[in-house]
Amino acid sequence: GDSVTQTEGQVALSEEDFLTIHCNYSASGYPALFWYVQYPGEGPQFLFRASRDKEKGSSRGFEATYNKEATSFHLQKASVQESDSAVYYCALSLSSGSWQLIFGSGTQLTVMP
């Protein structure tokens, strides 16, 4: 079946470090790809999306580029801040009609001052 794999369960960085969280997917069709962020005590919230090969999504300094050949959508940020500490979820959606999201297992990012 369709799936999303996030290889890092936890990432610990210092402020101003460069961030990469890896996301790979497996899908029978041509999915749209998403990143969500979840702060403590809250539900996940939409960060950005990309719908086609080589498209870059971005928001709040985070970005990811859709790579169909590598089946990847890695999240990056050039300089993280303590306020970026949260859980990040990669997700895919296949249908534009009855769309549903398939989430990865999430990556806990902790940024130390």
Footprint on this chain of another protein (rule: CB under 8 A)? 32, 34, 41-46, 49, 89, 91, 93, 96, 98-101, 103-106
CB of 9 to another protein, least distance (A): 8
Nearer to another protein, 9 or 113 (CB): 9
Letter for the amino acid at 45?
Q
CB of 5 to another protein, least distance (A): 11
Distance in angstroms (rounded) separating the CA atoms of residues 108 and 26: 22
Listed residue (2, 28, 14) closest to 102, CA to CA:
2
Pairing of strands 45-50, 107-112: unpaired
Nearer to another protein, 40 or 113 (CB): 40
